Structure formats: structure tokens, C-alpha cells
Structure 1
Amino acid sequence: MLTGSPPGDQGVGQIIVKEICRSYPQDRVVCFATLSRHEKWEKPAEFKDLRVRIGVKRYEHRIQPMPGPLGATFALAAYWGMFRRHCHHLTRDAIEFGREHQCEILFSILESATNIQITDAVARGIGIPKRVLVWDAPDYIATHLGQMPLSVSAISTAFQKAMNNADGLAVVSDPMARLYRQQFGMESVILRHAAPPAEPHDDSLSDDSKRETDPIVIAFAGSVSARPQLDVLQRALDLIHWRIAGREVRLDLYGMRFVLESRGPRNVRYCGYRSVAETVEALCKTADVLFMPQPFESELASFTELSFPTKLSTYFAAGHPILLLSPPVSSLGEFFQECPFGVWCQEMEPSKVAEAIETIVTDKHVRATALQNIREQLEGAFSQNFFRKQLHRFLAPSITVA
């Protein structure tokens, strides 16, 4: 396995790789993980027999020590020289590791510019077929790193090489599957992470005795990939004075870092970072509505239209209706049309978001439909059993399931 996330609990990538590694005997998997020099990783005790080698990735981010044309020229030279030369060294190390353990197939997660750059060469160097898993489009990955257009184009070219002649493809969304079928003529397996669900419970707003005393809690958990949407949510709550049906509204934030600004009173509680299991438990016990934003910015269109945030798996596991704020063309919007899991607001307008908030809080039919659909998803496409079945479809018959 070639990945930027060794098995662990620090971040979504490590959690997903941990579940993948749990699905197979440890003597059937070896892991070459590329980490930045600032990332620390300690092998979990449950993987004591898993063979792991860490390669240090460098020069992924745009390096421009000065503004203007001279700085831009330096940034391009850094990519074409320093980054690609370093990737060449990592490629040799990964090939040596794969040959040492007599690997039969390369399972590469194209989650970073480094992995995209080295995947095809590693597979050819070992002389084995490759199967790739895509979480995000290459232009989003490159743009997120601050790379210039020529470097973005180069990373996209490396992505095409990684995809060409792949023996199998796994993706996270139906729009991504359609796009890559059109571009590469490949059928995909949909492979989405499934968080262990909380204990089944009734609608948190169904108990009339709570209406006078307890706040209505809207919660957001995870990293902020759509900060403007989080700001719009709070501006929408400003319009209704942070009250619905006579009850106070509180916004709970779970994550490592948030930047908040306000010129008036707001009711926000920062809950800090928690593991996925701890987050699911806390959301289940305290939240009434979960907030799921996707970016509206044109430069982030590939992320909005193709990616499928793992946050939704966490929210489903918590078992509350979800307020989706995303453009009309979006991966989650398409999924919502098939499986309404709350209320979908398609406009970055505070008044429209305020209407959506009031609907998802007060409309019992909307809430009941959402909860029923979420329960069905937890028993089907968002169950851990389904994740393992899809993983086996993707990798079989090369690896025997434990």
C-alpha cells in the first residue's frame, strides 16, 4: 500500500487506512507511507506485525521566497527541480521496499502530490499491477498546496499517468466515478468510510418537555474546508437572534482550530478536538441539527462536485438531521436528492439559510424522513460491513480477506 497516511487515529486518512489494514491479515499487507518531516507517527499496538516504512515528503507546497516574476520563476524551478528530484528518491525507496517484500500488487491512495507523482513509476519499477483510490481531484490537491498553474498542470499529468493502465479504481462519489469513466474508460468501486454508529435513539427534539429549558444545538465537527459557509450560518442565526420557536440556539464547534469574528452577541461553544468515536458520542448526546457545508467558490468546484466529505459518515453515525449548505451542482447535493437527510439550502444568502434552519428544527415530517433515511444508510452503504465488501470487490482476488 502506498499512502500518505499510515494506520492510526490522527486525521481522516489515518483512520481510513487503519480500517483497510484491519480488513486483511498483517502478513498480506506492507505499507509505504509518505509523511512530512513535521508529522509524527507511532505504530498502533494492534499493528505490531504490520511492515511499515516511512518516507519523508518534501517541497509539495509552493516555495516562493519573494513576490513578482522572479519569485514565480523560483517557485516553478522549485517544483520542477527540488520536488521532482525528491520524488525520484522516494520512488527508488518504495521500489526497494516493494521488491524486498515480494509485493504482488500496488494499492495507491492518490491523496497527495507526492503519491500522485510516484505511483506509476513505483508500479513499473516493481513490475506489478496498480490499483488506485482517489479521494480528491488532482487540481484541488495542487491548488490547496498553493501551486502555480503550470505546476498544477504537471501534477494533473502525473495523475493521468497514475490512472492509465490501472488494474482497478476506487472513488468516493458517483460524480467522480462518472467523470473517470469518461476520461479513462474505467469502472469504479465506490469506497466510503463508515464510522461506527451511536446507539439508536429517538428524535432529540421530540420531547416537548425540553422546549422551554434546553437550547437547540446546531453542531459542526471536523476541519473547515468551507469557512465562508460557516460564517453565513452564524449570520443567518443573527437574523433570527439565535432563537427558534422561543428557544435559544447554540452552535457547537468540534475541531482543532476555528477563526471566528462577530460584531454582536452570539452563542458559540468551542468543544475542541476529539476522536471520531468521541465526536460521534458527543454529537449524539448533545446535538439536534448537524451542519454540513460545501464550498461555493469557483476555484474549489472540483472539491464540491467530486469529493465526498468523510464528515457525512460521522454525522450519519451520530444520527441527527443534517443541514446541507452547498451549490446546486455538488456531490452531496446529488446524494441528497436520492436520500434526503435533512434540509438542503442551495444559496449563500443568510435569509435563505435562516429559513432552512427553522424548517429543519420545526418540521417534524422533514426530521422523521431524515432520521429514517439515515438509519437505512447506516444499515447499508454507510455500514462497516459494506465498506469491507466494497474494499474486497476492489482488491480481490489479489488479497484474501481476514
Structure 2
Amino acid sequence: MSVLKHKKLLLLSDIPPCTNYTGGLVVAQQCRFLPPERLCAFVVLNPLLTAHPAPDLAGLETLTVEKPREAGTYLYGSLPIGTAGAAIVAAHMRRTRGAEILRMAERFAREQGVDAIWAILEGQVVTGLAAPLAQRLGVPLYTQVWDPLSWWLDAHKVDPVSRFIAHRSFDAAMSKSRACAAASWNMAEEYLARYGVRSVPVIAGHDMALAQAPVPRLHGEDLVIGFAGQLYATDAWESLIAALHRAGWRIGGRNIRLTAIGQHYPPDDLPADRLDYPGWLPQADTIRRLAEQCDVLYCPYSFEKPREDVARLSFPSKLTSYFAAGRPVLVHAPEFSSPARYAREHGAGHVCGSLDPDRVIASLHTIAADGALFERLARNGQTALRRDFTLERMRESFLDVLNT
């Protein structure tokens, strides 16, 4: 079905459709797939974030409320209160501010005449709202998951009691879901088995007009490694930098250079004359720069045991940008991870499944020295882009979920 069957859909999210955050860009694109008069949004926004609204979505009926603190609170003033104190603080927030936000969301949804909810399960607050709100309104719930909840809870140092409650809320939302928009094929398979909920991979797509034609060779005498986006897999990155230092920043007689595009300067001790850091760039400019100035595009994923769920279930949005750039991709990730599995199944990237610096160097050398492999990886990446990561494919998958 290519049109939305519901009369009015409520987007429940902690990020609005916007132009300056990755999640907000994805939300904005999904909002564009829906008739504007049949969508409204209830956003629980971190007060430290300043979202720049997408101009073409300015007419979206939206109620934004301030998100309460989700990170673990282990100090009362300057006094340490430990995990027990943190759990008490979090419980007080849920009973007071959490209950108030639920009432506000219910009132807004009823005023809007909502007959279904699209909830993006990110963080404790929105995850805790989803099932109770759907129950109060008596409407179907559709969920979307970008990352396992464990990643968020670890990153925000949430206390054990609150973690248990958050996981229970996630399980309740998934069990109540009519369908789930999953972050990867791995996640869709696992959530179907775990919760019995129909799960469809909905992965950020690209306008094919942004795609660059693959060039089947290195650009010049240097080997330029490109990276774009947020860096979460610091263990993989440190392995790459250690490998480059060990190789003296040369592979196969070529000097190695790095181009890193993103909001944050890359970590570690990097020779200034080997790094090009333009900062954050719009998506179209990022893809063009990767295509025109880089030879191999680097996609790291964490090898850390506590992040096994993330590696297995999430999917890096940067990978689709890399495919659009038309350059071969080095996927530096555990063999069981979703990007490694996808790259191997479709021949769309060379996988290095080890943190051993010698293995990293060998992988880079293989891509740079084997002309046929270089060309095949770039070509297969664009084939994958056209098959799985276009805006049309994203739209079809998203509406497939909402029309379940």
C-alpha cells in the first residue's frame, strides 16, 4: 500500500524533524513521506539541544516539552549519593515529571484526533511513554528503533534499577506494537523472534541525484582514507591510528592521508600534515568531497563486548553515504555485526574483523593494490545503494510498517 491508511498519526519522539542532527534529518525525511494534514508531533526535547526546523515542515502541528534529565544523577550538589540515590532521583522524576508529560501527550493527541502512534524508542522518557499512551488513547502503536536501548543506557550511565524499568518499558512497547521499523535486517529478524512483532528494516535512504559515479582507481599518488559522521567506535579508530603509525603512514609506497568530516575533531595523536578536517558539511557536500578527494572510506564499528548488541543490531547511516560516494569501503567491524554481514553478503565492502594493526594495514593494502577488487567494491556499493537505500525504498518500507 502506497498511502497512509490512518487519518491522523502522532509522532512521539525526542528529536523533531530538523536539519542539524542526524536523527532529525531522518525523522524529517520520514515526515515528508506522509500527508502533512495527517501528521502531528509530540516532542520531548533535551533543553541542551537547539534543533533547526526543516523549513518545508514548518506547518507540522507540534507540541514540544522539555525532557527531564535522563543521565544518571550520582551527586546531590557536591555530595555523592551513589547508585541508590540515583535510583531514587530517577524514580521521583518518573512519578512527577514523567506522569505530567504523559498527561500532556494524551491531551495533545486527543485534541489532534489521533488514531495511531509512531513512536521512536530512544531514551527512557519516550520509551516509557509509548505503551501507556497507546493504551490510554486506545489506538495502534507503531515503533521505530535505531539502536538497542542498552546503548543509550550505557552512554548515560543510568543506574541499575532505572535500567531494569527502562528495559521493561521497551519490552512493553514492543509487545504492544502492531509493527516495528527496525534499524537493520539483523534487528528485524531478532525482534520478530523475541517479541512476535512484524519488523521491517527502515534504513535512511539517499536521493540518487546525490550519488557520484564510481571511479575505478586511486585519485593520486597518496592513499586518502575518508571518514564522515559521528565516531562511536573509538576502539576500532584507535586500532586504525595505531596501524598507520606502525606503517609509518605509508602503504605500498604511498603516503597515507586522512580526511575526517563531522562536528568533532577526530581523537588521538594525528600528524597535522596528514589530516584534512573541514568540520561538518551538508550531506550533498560530504558525499561530493568523499567522492572527489578520498580513495577508501572507513566505516568502524565497536568490538567492545558491552556493545555487542549495538554491533549486531544497529546499522551505520554513514555506510549509505559511502555507497553514494562511489568509493570502496573498508568495514572495520566484528564479523557478526550488521555492517560486516551486509558488506560480505553483497560484496559491498572489504571487511576487517580484527583490531590487530597488522590486519588493518593488510586490509588497506589489499584494497589499494588490487585494482579489480577496488573497482568491484565501488561498483557493488552503488548497486547496494540503488537496491536498498534509495528514498523510494525507504518510503515503501516505512509505509509498509504504518499500514500493517
Q: Same fold per TM (> 0.5)?
A: yes
Counting only pairs closer than 5 Å after superposition, residues 7-156 of structure 1 correspond to structure 2 as 7-65=17-75, 70-156=81-167
1:134–1:170 Cα contact (<8 Å) kept:
yes
Q: 1:256-275 CA distances to partner (integer Å, 9 max, x unpaired)?
A: 11353338786122221112
Structure 2 partner of 1:400: none
Distance 1:157 1:309, change over 3 A: same
2:183–2:202 Cα contact (<8 Å) kept:
yes
Distance 1:190 1:264, change over 3 A: closer
Q: Gapped runs of 5+ residues in structure 1? A: 398-402
User: AA paired with 1:260?
Assistant: P
Structure 1 partner of 2:6: none
After the TM superposition, which of the residue ranges 269-278 and 306-315 deviates more from structure 2? 269-278
User: AA paired with 1:136?
Assistant: D
2:180–2:198 Cα contact (<8 Å) kept:
yes
1:62–1:148 Cα contact (<8 Å) kept:
yes
Q: Structure 1: how far apart are the matches of 2:170 and 2:113?
A: 25
User: AA paired with 1:331?
Assistant: S
1:243–1:249 Cα contact (<8 Å) kept:
yes
2:225–2:259 Cα contact (<8 Å) kept:
yes
Matched, 1:381 2:388: yes
Q: Structure 1: how far apart are the matches of 2:216 and 2:68?
A: 47
Out of 311, 320, 344, the residue aligned to residue 337 of structure 1 is: 344
Q: Structure 2: how far apart are the matches of 1:388 and 1:241?
A: 46
Q: Structure 1: how far apart are the matches of 2:60 and 2:266?
A: 39
Distance 1:84 1:235, change over 3 A: farther
Query: What is the count of residue pairs matched by the alignment?
Result: 392
Q: Structure 1: how far apart are the matches of 2:30 and 2:271?
A: 46
TM-score, with length taken from structure 2: 0.92
The alignment partner of 1:164 has SS state of: helix
Q: Structure 1: how far apart are the matches of 2:343 and 2:16?
A: 32
Q: 1:40-73 CA distances to partner (integer Å, 9 max, x unpaired)?
A: 2343321232111112111200111179984222
1:377–1:383 Cα contact (<8 Å) kept:
no
Q: 1:233-272 CA distances to partner (integer Å, 9 max, x unpaired)?
A: 1111122221233322101111111353338786122221
CA-CA distance at 1:147 after TM superposition: 0.9
Matched, 1:347 2:359: no
User: AA paired with 1:145?
Assistant: H
The alignment partner of 2:320 has SS state of: helix
Q: Structure 2: how far apart are the matches of 1:350 and 1:84?
A: 50
Structure 1 partner of 2:3: none
Q: Structure 2: how far apart are the matches of 1:33 and 1:27?
A: 18
Q: Structure 2: how far apart are the matches of 1:200 and 1:183?
A: 40
Structure 2 partner of 1:203: 215
Counting only pairs closer than 5 Å after superposition, residues 163-178 of structure 1 correspond to structure 2 as 163-178=174-189
Structure 1 partner of 2:324: 317
Q: Gapped runs of 5+ residues in structure 2? A: 1-10
1:305–1:331 Cα contact (<8 Å) kept:
yes
Distance 1:10 1:206, change over 3 A: closer
1:195–1:384 Cα contact (<8 Å) kept:
yes
